[in-house]
Amino acid sequence: MVVPVIQNIAATGQTDTSMESLTLHLADLDVIREQNQVFENMAGYITAGGIVLANDGSQMYQFYDARVTSDAFDFYGVPPLLGRGLVPEDGKSGAPPVFVMSYQTWKRVFHEDAKILGKTLTVDGEPRTVVGVMPARFEAFGTQTNIWIPITRSRDTPRADGEFPAEVLARLKPGVTMETASADLEVIVKRLALLHPDDFPKHFRTRVVSAVDFFMTPQKGWDGVSSDLKHLLYNMLAAAAILLLIACSNVANLLLARATVREKEMAVRSALGATRDRLVRQLLAESSVLAAAACAVGCLFAWVGTKFLPAFVPRTGDVASGGHIGGETGLGLNPQVLFFALGLTFLTTLICGLAPSLHVMRADLQPQLAGAGKGANGGFRHGKLRAGLVVAEVAFSIVLLIGTGLMMRSFFVLTRVDLGFNPKNVLLLYFMPPPSHDRTSSTQRFASPQGRAVLLGVVERLKALPGVIHVSIEDALPGYSPGRGLQVAVPGATHSEEAGLIACDENFLATLELRQIQGRWLSENEVRMAQYAGVINQRLAHDLFGDANPIGQQLQVKAFKSITLPPRDSDFQIVGVVGDMKNAGPQRPAMPMIFLPYTVRGGPAILLKTTVDPASLRNAVQEQIWAVNRDEIIGLASPLEDFLQRFAYSTPEFGLLICTPLASIALVLVMIGVFSVMAYTVSLQTRELGIRMALGAQQRSILQMILSQGARLLATGIVLGLFASYGLTRFLASQIWGVSATDPLTFTIVAALVVAVGLAACYMPALRATRVDPLVALRHE
């Protein structure tokens, strides 16, 4: 599946690297269907919000709908759970109005009513019949779509007034490459642009990208998102692979130690007549039991993990909430991944478990039968291999721990960024245009006298709600919306600056608790009378006026000069300066900002400052809004803290929640690996230690000798791990912020942690060595 995208080309000829989905009028979509040679199928869709009434008018719901071309369900090829999907006949003129419902809507709103099919509900003022329910996990044509409605020519006449261009999805024909498809589409779209120049940018290029790349990558306008989830998932896969290597090394180490102990046993069995095939079958059976038990426990842990993991996955909540994984997405045991893990577990266990028999097959039995100590010869032969496995474990764990440490430090820095405003106990409401206004933008709608009256009526009702202390009208998403990038300058000056613009009212300062630096905030009279007064932030004040006092100065917004609609004046008087507030994400510095009365430039959003949990007021707020206008659609009703959490912190937090357990398990495995090797080494050296102590060696020197052996293994692994980390952490660049990928503090802390854990693992075997009785040790066999 691919997405046709469009990219602007600047006057310099440079192509914008950001991508926007290609939106087409239905007539243009028909032209591409007919003329293209590369697409197997195409579908168009328009996403919006809508009001749905029960058939008796007793219940009102707000749903997110997608108006789709009538063949859209054939495009996906997913059969419905109940009833039928949309068919081409549903898009013909005069066809009965129908719609299809999502599984989650059917389950949560209509309580899985099997009799829902055939019922008529009023959707955006038009009676429509429910003809189908899609299965769980089906999510298409828009984020968290509740219902799908066919686009009909009778209602959505191509190029009629108020038609909303549709976004496009396509499937390539077998064997067609992205480059070929892009070239074919470019020719057709350029031809359409010549016929309808107002529908396309002046200079642009068209190409196709895979749907995965498009929807999993932050797009233009939201590039402040902390990280790309696709890259994060790749890094999670790499972390899991590293842990798998550590686990395999540990299993191999333990089984090799066990194999060394049993070499004499295998030699005795062989000398008594056991064939090599019989020995192999015996060890194969033992290893199979061990591997089967390990796989069963591992599958249990994996199943339990998939039940709890979804709670931590960053998801899309409301429209524009900034999540990356849809609400219908399910997580479970992937058969391919599960079988790969099970196969690798069996392979590692069987190979290492068969080591004794493989050695017997090619070894001389006489030295084993005559060996005085357990595994005497095997200790030397396998010692280097086991030491090498421990070094590998330590190196791998260093890489995993440093990656986790960098993400931890980055998240710590990110969550402590001063946003310049207080999002606590703030409910954000964002309005969407109702269908009765032909999807005209909310800013234009609320700029009209009728729209202004609706907006003020809503505000008065919201102010009366218990627990609400401030209500502010504005047109931005605090923390993530810089407003429009406009050129502003002091009248008569040649120097200008690009600044964002937020249209707001007199309560905006108190609602977000902005810091007043100089002057004052906008007054109620200035807002009501649409006076040309403005407040700027510190950065704009410094950029335009330096150390001079900006209060009382005039500020010119150059873009206003070219606007034919009011306001015609472009000069505003600066009445105050406020502290900088983050307006493009917490990772980016605050950009220059100007705050003007919303009566000058509209304002489709409302902020409520509350003394209670803002989420608890959602239903009450919606009721008050519908009491003023039953057609009003709330595109977003979310506590501002939750919005920022989903948009700024959820993805790095998810990565940290996954990496931390993996790194912790890796550290435990390293401790087990080091302990097992050192304990086994001490057991092989029991006779040697007894002789040393009988000749006068002190316990302290014995302790130092054993610890030095472990320290050499640790040092080798740490050095290798640090070098590997230095080269690999650059792949974490998209997941960390505020710290360097080669942060010395993180590298130092991780190395010290591994040293402490490793030496602790060495200490018990070393302590045991100091307590060896020389007489017992000299008789040791």
How would DSSP label each residue in 697-737? --HHHHHHHHHHHHHHHHHHHHHHHHHHHHHHGGGGTTT--
What is the per-residue pLDDT for 14?
Answer: 55
Q: Are 324 and 316 in contact (CB under 8 A)?
A: yes
DSSP code, position 589: P
Contact residues for 711 (Cβ-Cβ < 8 A; gap 6+):
758, 759, 762
Angle at 748 between CA 744 and CA 752, to 5 degrees: 175
Range scoring the smallest mean pLDDT among 165-169, 309-313, 409-413, 610-614: 309-313
Range scoring the smallest mean pLDDT among 112-121, 689-698, 705-714: 689-698
State the Cα–Cα distance between residues 566 and 600, nearest whole angstrom. 8
pLDDT greater at residue 338 or residue 751 = 751
Q: Kindly tell me the sign of the dihedral angle through the C-alpha atoms of 586, 588, 589, 595.
A: negative
Mean pLDDT computed over 566-589: 80
State the Cα–Cα distance between residues 140 and 600, nearest whole angstrom. 38
What is the per-residue pLDDT for 317?
Answer: 42
Q: Kindly tell me the sign of the dihedral angle through the C-alpha atoms of 103, 106, 112, 113.
A: negative
* Collapsed DSSP state (helix, strand, coil) of residue 160: coil
Using the predicted structure, report yes or no on whether residue 714 has a pLDDT greater than 90: no
Q: Are 425 and 611 in contact (CB under 8 A)?
A: yes
Contact residues for 774 (Cβ-Cβ < 8 A; gap 6+):
690, 691, 693, 694
State the Cα–Cα distance between residues 323 and 651, nearest whole angstrom. 8
Helices 376-415 and 229-261, axial angle in degrees (round to 10): 160
- How buried is 140 (Cβ within 10 angstroms: 0-12 exposed, 13-18 middle, 19+ buried)? buried
Q: Strands (DSSP E) along 532-619, which ranges?
A: 533-537, 554-557, 571-578, 593-597, 605-610
Portion of the chain with pLDDT greater than 70, in percent: 78
Q: Are 642 and 320 in contact (CB under 8 A)?
A: no
Which residue's entry shows tokens 């919303």? 598
In the numeric block, which tokens belong to residue 511? 């609602």
What is the per-residue pLDDT for 161?
Answer: 42
DSSP code, position 417: -
In the numeric block, which tokens belong to residue 162? 């108020």
Q: What is the DSSP pairing of strand 204-210 with strand 2-8? A: antiparallel
Mean pLDDT computed over 722-738: 81
In the numeric block, which tokens belong to residue 315? 């998801």
Q: Kindly tell me the sign of the dihedral angle through the C-alpha atoms of 145, 150, 153, 158.
A: positive
State the Cα–Cα distance between residues 691 and 621, nearest whole angstrom. 84
In the numeric block, which tokens belong to residue 74? 């054939």
Mean pLDDT computed over 696-713: 80
Mean pLDDT computed over 403-409: 87
Provide DSSP, 673-696. HHHHHHHHHHHHTHHHHHHHHHTT
In the numeric block, which tokens belong to residue 639? 């506590």
- Position 740 confidence tier, pLDDT thresholds 50, 70, 90: confident
Q: Are 722 and 395 in contact (CB under 8 A)?
A: no
Using the predicted structure, report yes or no on whether residue 284 has a pLDDT greater than 50: yes
Amino acid in position 82 = L
Backbone torsions φ then ψ of 82, nearest 5 degrees: -130, 145
State the Cα–Cα distance between residues 494 and 498, nearest whole angstrom. 13
DSSP code, position 64: E
What is the per-residue pLDDT for 230?
Answer: 66
pLDDT digits (tens, 9 = 90+) for 36-48: 888 888 888 887 6
Most confident of 19-28, 188-197, 687-696: 188-197
Amino acid in position 679 = A
What is the per-residue pLDDT for 647?
Answer: 74
Q: Taking all residues of the chain, what is their mean pLDDT, rounded to a whole number?
A: 77
pLDDT digits (tens, 9 = 90+) for 631-684: 777 767 788 888 788 777 877 887 788 788 888 888 888 888 888 777 777 776
- Position 509 confidence tier, pLDDT thresholds 50, 70, 90: very high
Using the predicted structure, report yes or no on whether residue 125 has a pLDDT greater than 50: yes
pLDDT greater at residue 377 or residue 91 = 91
- Position 760 confidence tier, pLDDT thresholds 50, 70, 90: confident
pLDDT digits (tens, 9 = 90+) for 433-485: 655 444 445 555 666 677 778 888 888 999 999 999 999 988 888 887 665 56
pLDDT digits (tens, 9 = 90+) for 256-268: 777 666 767 777 8
In the numeric block, which tokens belong to residue 458? 């809503």
Q: Are 185 and 2 in contact (CB under 8 A)?
A: no
In the numeric block, which tokens belong to residue 267? 């030699």
What is the per-residue pLDDT for 322?
Answer: 35
The full length of the chain comes to: 781
Q: Are 703 and 771 in contact (CB under 8 A)?
A: no
- Position 60 confidence tier, pLDDT thresholds 50, 70, 90: confident
What is the per-residue pLDDT for 357?
Answer: 58
What is the per-residue pLDDT for 413?
Answer: 87
DSSP code, position 416: T
State the Cα–Cα distance between residues 496 and 484, nearest whole angstrom. 15
In the numeric block, which tokens belong to residue 692? 């040393």
Q: Are 6 and 201 in contact (CB under 8 A)?
A: yes
What is the per-residue pLDDT for 310?
Answer: 64
**Cα distance between the two ends of the chain:** 69
Q: Are 317 and 638 in contact (CB under 8 A)?
A: yes
Closest CA to 45 of 12, 23, 74, 60: 23
Closest CA to 246 of 402, 397, 403, 399: 397
Q: What are 496's strand-pairing partners?
A: 489
3-state secondary structure 89-150: HHHCCCCCCEEEECHHHHHHCCCCCHHHCCCEEEECCEEEEEEEECCCCCCCCCCCCCEEEE
State the Cα–Cα distance between residues 175 and 732, nearest whole angstrom. 34
State the Cα–Cα distance between residues 733 and 739, nearest whole angstrom. 10
Backbone torsions φ then ψ of 169, nearest 5 degrees: -125, 150
State the Cα–Cα distance between residues 101 and 276, nearest whole angstrom. 66
* Collapsed DSSP state (helix, strand, coil) of residue 74: helix
Q: Are 608 and 429 in contact (CB under 8 A)?
A: yes
**If residue 82 lies in a helix (H) or strand (E), which one and from where to where?**
strand 82-83
String of b and e for 527-546 (b: at least 16 CB within 10 Å)? beeebbbbbbbbbbbbbbbe
Using the predicted structure, report yes or no on whether residue 138 has a pLDDT greater than 70: yes
- Position 515 confidence tier, pLDDT thresholds 50, 70, 90: very high
Q: Kindly tell me the sign of the dihedral angle through the C-alpha atoms of 618, 49, 442, 641.
A: positive
**How far, in whole angstroms, is CA 184 from its chain's centroid?**
33
Closest CA to 608 of 410, 487, 408, 428: 428
State the Cα–Cα distance between residues 154 and 173, nearest whole angstrom. 31
Using the predicted structure, report yes or no on whether residue 321 has a pLDDT greater than 60: no
352: left (phi over 0), alpha (psi -120 to 50) or beta: alpha
What is the per-residue pLDDT for 520?
Answer: 93
State the Cα–Cα distance between residues 324 and 217, nearest whole angstrom. 9
Using the predicted structure, report yes or no on whether residue 191 has a pLDDT greater than 60: yes
Q: Are 312 and 660 in contact (CB under 8 A)?
A: no
Provide DSSP, 473-518. EESS-TTT-----EEEE-TT-S-EEEEEEEEE-TTHHHHHTPPEEE
Q: Kindly tell me the sign of the dihedral angle through the C-alpha atoms of 650, 654, 655, 661.
A: positive
List own/partner pairs for 655-661 with CB under 8 A and 24 or more apart.
655/227, 655/232, 655/235, 655/236, 655/407, 655/735, 656/404, 656/407, 656/408, 656/411, 657/312, 658/236, 658/239, 658/312, 659/236, 659/239, 659/400, 659/403, 659/404, 659/407, 660/404, 660/408
Closest CA to 149 of 184, 97, 78, 200: 97
